[in-house]
Structure 1
Amino acid sequence: MRSSNPVFSRRGFSRGTGYAGFNAQAGGPTATQYAGANPYAGANPYATEAPQYAPQHTPQTRPMTMDDVVARTGLTLGTVIAGATVGWLFLTGQLAFAIGAGLAATVLGFIQSFKRKPSPALILGYAALEGVFLGALSGFINDLPKLNGAPMQAVLGTMAVFVAMLVAYKTRIIRVTARFTRFVMIAALGFLMLSLVNLLFMVFGGGDGLGFRSGGLGILFGVVGVVLGALFLAMDFKQVEDGVAYGAPREESWLAAFGLTTTLVWIYWEMLRLISILRD
């Protein structure tokens, strides 16, 4: 299975074929254990590549564990929080600088997404700049009389979504299947296209564009954005689970942290916009 998250989509974690070459090298389950029962069998984009492109283990490289993922996700999210604190305290009134930080974070995120190997420096740089952007914008919103306290509500809402999706995934209330993935991908593409069209109408036509960010339509659009973010979380959990099960190299835990961070940032931002519409 390939995730909607660009961080994971190039990695090819798959319960059908394993993470290319890891079953034999890291002692993970073999593909034949799942043959015939696994909906992802044969979906690994690395499975047919020449051997020289498959990740190679060395005695110094051990497989990724869940502890690795948790530790690096904590470090990446901690960097976001540190950047947000700086943005909140010192850049609340300098929105141009904050937007510049957001654009720089986007560039770093795209660079990392298209790299075959994780770069901790890029990932932490993205986290710091994204934090500055979110902190400055959140501080600005918090200073508005009608929206005081909205950022904290968005943080609590994001945490609630994360916990709910983790429980739903672990108890298999939500199962990440090929059909589930296709549905989320199509919905996400439609959401992003509508957002882009609305932005263009706002830039060239003025006002609120097509109305996707205000009123009843804005509330509906915000709810869809939060739900999509929650579904992305389930897909990210699946990729992490498969990476651990099939012995992905330890360095891949940085990509797991990066993917989870980008999804949580999405949920927070959509949650903040939804709360702002509801309280305004």
Structure 2
Amino acid sequence: MDSGAGTVREERQQKTYAQQHGVPQTEDLQRQYDLPEHAGREGTPMTYDDVIRKTVTSFAVLLVGAGAAVTLATMMPGIVMGLALVALLGGLVLGLVNAFRREPNPGLILAYSATQGFFLGALTWVLEMAYPGVAVQAVTATLVVFGTVLALFKSGKVRATPKLTKFFFTALIAYAVFSLVNLGMVMFTDIGMFGMRAGWLGVAIGAFAILLATYSLVLDFTNIQEGVEAGVEQKYGWAAAFGLTVSLVWLYIEILRVIVILRSITE
């Protein structure tokens, strides 16, 4: 259940929006593009509407992948989890490739969405069979968190700060190491499906991870705002869409895990 989304976030968010995607800082735009205006010679500047369109496209592909996994699971349940593991590994590789590219590649970003969608669809189907209703609960909670963070960011009540961001990266590294160790124990021992995250300790760790994923959304919104204000090229809207997809996938997995752990305790 540790999809690697947190690891991707770690690599992608180490720099500012401009630095991580090879986009010049505001004061370097004119020199970099050798133009008097914000937009590069290849197109118009990135806008919020453009980011929304690209993000919706990314999530549409993710939903198609999830739907394909659920459909396959109902017909051939014996092979879907094996394919889900392949999709998980493929998504991790694609996520790292996209994170390290200087310029976004829409095809690779959508491929990431498709593989992660298949993995999430298969995972959700398995857990839904064991805990009916968990899918609706997790999706609803994810949408509520996303909408709340977006509203607070737009109102100016929530902002990324240097101190919080430093803490975020430190905690993220520690969480990524813990998650990898826990995943290894789940895969290669009989510790159980949650590993060291079973019981109320798992709920506490999951709540902390949800906070990390939530702050990751704040960083995404900050990056998008920086990109729009700097007038970067429209193609970098795909990088913004990729970032939001990674954060929401991570957030959904953490919420889903906490709900399942809570239900395993109380039922």
Which range, TM-score by smaller chain?
0.7 to 0.9
Residue from 93, 105, 108 that aligns with 2:91: 105
1:89 aligns with 2:82: no
Per-residue deviation at 1:222? 1.1
2:105 is aligned with 1:127: no
Contact 2:10 2:173 in 1 (8 A): no
Structure 1: tracts of 5 or more residues without a match: 27-50
1:13 to 2:22 alignment: no
Partner SS for 2:103: coil
Q: Is the 8 A contact 1:4 1:181 kept in 2?
A: no
Match of 1:31 in 2: none
Shift in Å, 1:7: 4.0
TM-score (norm 1): 0.80
Indicate the residue corresponding to 2:206 in structure 1. 222
Q: Deviations over 1:98-151 (max 9, x none)?
A: 11111111111111111101100000011011101110111111112xx11101
CA apart distance, 1:226: 1.0
Match of 1:276 in 2: 260
CA distance in 1, matches of 2:29, 2:177: 42
**Which AA in structure 1 matches 2:254?**
E
**Structure 1 residue 166 displacement after superposition:** 1.0
The gaps in structure 2 that reach 5 residues or longer are 1-7
Give the TM-score normalised by the residue count of structure 2: 0.84
SS, match of residue 143 in structure 1: helix
Matches of 2:52 and 2:147 in 1, distance apart?
Answer: 14
Following the alignment from structure 2 to structure 1, what is the Cα–Cα distance between the partners of residues 236 and 13? 10
Residue aligning to 1:161: 145
Equivalent residue for 1:142? 128
Q: Which amino acid aligns with 2:116?
A: E
CA shift digits 1:222-274 (9 cap, x unpaired): 11111111010001100000100011111100000000000000000111111
**What's the CA shift string for 1:131-188, capped at 9, x where partnerless?**
01110111111112xx111011100010011011112222232221111110111111
Verify the 8 A CA contact 2:183 2:195 in the aligned structure 1.
no
Alignment partner of 1:118: what SS?
A: coil
Counterpart contact for 1:201–1:210, Cα < 8 Å: no
Letter in 1 for 2:245: T
Measure the CA separation in 1 of the matches of 2:196 and 2:262.
13
Larger radius of gyration: 1
2:48 paired residue number: 66
Question: How many aligned positions are there?
Answer: 246
Match of 1:40 in 2: none
Which residue is equivalent to 1:202? 186
**Contact kept in structure 2, 1:84 and 1:133, CA below 8 Å:** yes
User: What code does the residue aligned with 1:165 have?
Assistant: V
| Displacement after TM superposition at 1:13 (Å) | 3.3
User: Percentage identity across aligned positions?
Assistant: 33
